Structures are given as structure tokens and as C-alpha cells.
Copies of this chain bind each other. A is one copy, B any other.
Amino acid sequence: MANSKYEYVKAFEQPDVLLPNTWIVVRIDGRGFHKLSDRYEFIKPNDRRALDLMNAAAVEVMKELPDLCIAYGVSDEYSFVFHPSCQLFERRSAKLVTTIVSTFTAHYIYQWGSYFPSMPLQAPHLPSFDGRAVLYPTTRILRDYMSWRQVDCHINNLYNTTFWTMVQKGGMSNTDAEKELQGTVSSDKNEILFKRFGINYNNEDEMYKKGSVLYRQYQLEDPKPTSDSKSGTLGDDGEPALVQEASMSRSQQDKVRKLRRKAQVVVDHVDIIKDEFWERRPWILSGKPGKLPTEV
């Protein structure tokens, strides 16, 4: 074929297969969302429409890619987690990341009108997202990553809630509010909210305080009484039984994928730092589909 003269250029593509049996987190972030939130007049400190739109797009990503076992979103960022046994796209990094970024973007743009009916998108100022893949070698570290994001959510939301209350309800200038908050700790901010504005931060919306957790819903398991709770779902050494999974036949993988597709993807706003969330939903870390609620 005439093309063979140029085909040598294919040799320049370099492999980017991610280390096997590690957790893959694809985190995406809104590009220039500070400016974008001004243009489209997002409500401060939290715009429910914008967060619901983020969640709606993320749910579609979860449905499209049954290999994903959990996702966590806060503000204009979302973390999607593939299980260590995941073999999707032979674990090629760019393929995994761009598929998530593109699918997310497509649904975000497509559903924009449903969430912002009176605020149409103005080309060329369209929302877009960048992303990257990061590997976490053990379940402990993956959970610490998730905790990191949720603690970040809490810290930022408490700050933003206090700041914007001082500005919007307290009539302070941005600079004055910023200055007063400098160096304060959590209890200080809680006190400002409560004493000056009668706001109990604990009563704020769970979505704002906890972020959004997406996962497939199976029948919850009873909370385990002891700290030995993982023995049922994890291997002897506390890690998911990765090896066998990785060596599943293609048809077994397809079967698991189908089971996952059947499960409903739910959007939750709960604590994912403590053990309870994970113990009651062992399928998330084990990578093995649970019982569908209807099977009870």
C-alpha cells in the first residue's frame, strides 16, 4: 500500500499502560470555572443547579463505564475510581482519562439547559474540563485520598459559607470579610455564623457539607460489630483478592460488567471518612457486585 512509506511514524506512539493491581483515580476539574461562574451568575457560595448538573453528568459517566466503582464530587471537580482489577482499555492512561473527560463534558453541555433554563450557554464561552489519572497502591491509601477530598470539601465550604454570609447578610466588603477570617479555625467560623447570623452550620445542606458520593446500589450489609470487619470481603492480607480478578476470563469480566450495569447509580451525601460507609457497602472495595435490592 502506498501508505507504507509514512507508516513508520506509528512507532512514535509510546505505551502508557498503568501499573496493574493499583487503584486508578481519574480526577477532572472545571477549566477556568471561577470566571465561568461569574459569566453564568452562579449563586455563592453554592449553586445547587451547578452542583446538580455536575452530579447528573457524573451519573452518566458511571453508567457508561461499569468498571467505575465509586465517584466523589465537590465544587467543579470530580474523582472517578477504577478498581485495581480493572482491565478496561488495557489500563491505557490517556484512553481512560479522555473517555471520562469527554463523556462528562458531553453530558454537562447537553444537560445545561435543564439546569439553567434561563441562562443559555454563550459560545465560545463553553464549560470544559481537564483531567489526569493517579495511582494508589493500597486500599488504605485510596481511602485516604477520598478522605482528603472530603475534608477539603468541609474546610472550603465552612470558609465559603462564613465568608459569603458575612458579605451577603452582614453587608461586609469582600476584603473586610477576608481579613477577619484570616487565621481563624473551624470553631471561630461556626461561632461567627451562629452568634451573628443565627446559622447553625450543622443544619446546612448535606450536599454542600459532604460533597456527592456516587456508587452502585446493592443490598446494604449489617454494620460489623468489631474492627475485624473487613475479613469477609477482603483477602487474608486485607487487600481485595486482586490476583484472581485480574486473571478473570474476558467472558467473566463481561458478566460482571453486566451485573454492574443493572445496579442503580445513587447520589449520596454522606461521610466517607469513617469505616461505616465502606463496611455496609463492601462491593465498592471488593470489586464484586453485591445482591441487588430486588433480590432480597
Task: Mark A residues whose CB is within 8 Å of B.
Answer: 1-3, 6-17, 19-22, 28, 31, 60, 63-64, 84, 93-95, 97-99, 101-103, 105-111, 121, 123-124, 126-141, 144-145, 147-148, 151-152, 155, 186, 227, 230, 234-239, 242-243, 246-247
Q: Within 8 Å CB of A63, what residues of B?
A: 124
Q: With A9-B141, A19-B19 given, can you name 19 additional A-B contacts, CB distance below 8 Å?
A: A3-B151, A6-B145, A14-B15, A19-B135, A20-B137, A22-B137, A64-B124, A84-B137, A99-B130, A101-B101, A102-B102, A102-B105, A102-B128, A106-B126, A107-B126, A110-B121, A230-B236, A238-B238, A239-B239
Q: How far is the CA of A97 from the CA of B26 in the complex (A)?
A: 14
Interchain CB contact under 8 A, B141 and A243: yes
Closest Cβ–Cβ distance, residue A78 to chain B (whole Å): 13
Which of B31, B60, B133 interacts with A99 by CB under 8 Å? Answer: B31
Q: A234 near B236 (CB under 8 angstroms)?
A: no
What 4 A-B pairs have minimum CB-CB distances, sorted nearest first? A238-B238, A237-B238, A6-B148, A137-B137
Query: Known contacts being A236-B227, A238-B236, A243-B8, is A3 close to B148, with CB within 8 Å?
Result: yes
Asked if A124 and B137 sit within 8 Å, CB to CB, the answer is no
Chain B residues, CB < 8 A from A14? 15, 17, 19, 134-135
Copies of this chain in the oligomer = 4
Q: What's the Cα separation between A129 and B64 when bound, in Å? A: 13
Q: Are B21 and A137 in contact (CB under 8 A)?
A: yes
A19 to B135, alpha carbons, bound, how many Å? 8
CB distance from A116 to the nearest CB of B (A): 13
A110 to chain B, nearest CB (A): 5
Assess whether A94 is in contact with B132, with CB atoms less than 8 Å apart: yes
Bound Cα distance from A132 to B93, whole angstroms: 9
Min CB–CB distance A249 → chain B (angstroms): 14
What would 25 A/B residue contacts be, using CB atoms closer than 8 Å?
A: A3-B152, A6-B144, A9-B145, A9-B148, A12-B141, A12-B145, A14-B15, A15-B15, A19-B19, A28-B98, A64-B124, A93-B94, A94-B94, A97-B97, A98-B131, A99-B128, A101-B101, A102-B130, A103-B128, A105-B128, A107-B126, A109-B109, A137-B138, A140-B242, A237-B239
Q: Chain B residues with Cβ under 8 A from A136's Cβ?
A: 9, 12
A37 CA to B1 CA, complexed, in Å:
27
- With A123-B107, A238-B239, A239-B138 already in contact, the answer to whether A94 and B130 are too (CB < 8 A) is yes
A64 vs chain B, min Cβ distance (A): 7
Find chain B residues with CB under 8 A from A238 CB.
234-239
Of the residues B94, B147, B237, contact of A140 by C-beta under 8 Å: B237
Residues of the B chain whose Cβ atoms lie less than 8 Å from the Cβ of A148: 3, 6-7, 9-10
CB of B107 within 8 A of CB of A8, answer no
Q: Report the Cα distance A128→B7, complex, angstroms.
A: 27
